[in-house]
Copies of this chain bind each other. A is one copy, B any other.
């Protein structure tokens, strides 16, 4: 097996700094012959912190999915922890599409019987909870914790953000009867290694996890199913 993989990573918010950071995290784990194309929509929301932001971000995500498809990428990643527009993107694409929340959940459940999530604002907890439930990981996740900082603070106040993240992860490790911690925001990707080194418990970053899952599916020759409800959107009458 020596197939190269072109991977489109879509940061659904318009923060270019975050797109770069996500792209860099992806590159760290991608194979030498994989190509990472990190993109964000030109117009949209600067950060995604609720149901509305998510719904609004769908247009930009799907537009980028179409572009990625034209460029014949081998897989698409939606790099926002709410996995916005995931099912819709799978209808558009034939190459596999993976959200970073699901990627992290899948990986965490392979190395621990339980995990906790550490995310940003309390109001986004319900989004993670809905996802856990839809995907079937609700019994694997012991607790959803928040650092109570907005997404963009991860870029703007890195030191404070890191300290709060570390503190929440430490509390999760000591109190939640878990074996791993899932980072609940794409913007936390760059802090994963440092937290992991300090706490000595596996820290799962969905961006990195998604890169390997896309490469895996591509090497297996498994694409998004076009039989059933992920078939291409219907032409209208």
Chain A positions within 8 Å of B, measured between CB atoms, are: 1-2, 28-32, 45-47, 49-56, 58-59, 62, 85, 87-88, 90-92, 96, 98, 102, 106-107, 109-114, 121-127, 130, 133-140, 150, 152-153, 156, 173, 177-180, 200-202, 204, 208-209, 212-213, 215-217, 219-220, 222-225, 227-231, 233-234, 236-237
Contact = CB atoms under 8 A, between A and B. Distances in A.
B56 A229 contact: no
A103 to B, nearest CB: 9
B135 A179 contact: no
A99 to B, nearest CB: 9
Number of identical protomers: 6
Contacts of A208: 220
A25 to B, nearest CB: 11
A98 to B, nearest CB: 6
A138 B135 CA distance: 10
Contacts of A140: 136
B227 A55 contact: no
A113 B225 CA distance: 9
A116 to B, nearest CB: 11
24 contacts: A1-B29, A1-B30, A2-B31, A29-B219, A31-B219, A49-B234, A50-B233, A51-B91, A52-B91, A56-B58, A59-B59, A96-B110, A106-B106, A106-B109, A110-B213, A111-B217, A122-B228, A130-B134, A173-B227, A179-B228, A179-B229, A180-B227, A202-B225, A212-B216
Contacts of A49: 233-234
Nearest to A31: B1
A90 B2 CA distance: 30
A126 B113 contact: yes
A156 to B, nearest CB: 7
A212 B153 CA distance: 35
A24 to B, nearest CB: 14
B179 A225 contact: yes
Contacts of A201: 225, 227
A162 B213 CA distance: 29
A49 B231 CA distance: 11
A195 to B, nearest CB: 13
Contacts of A231: 50, 123
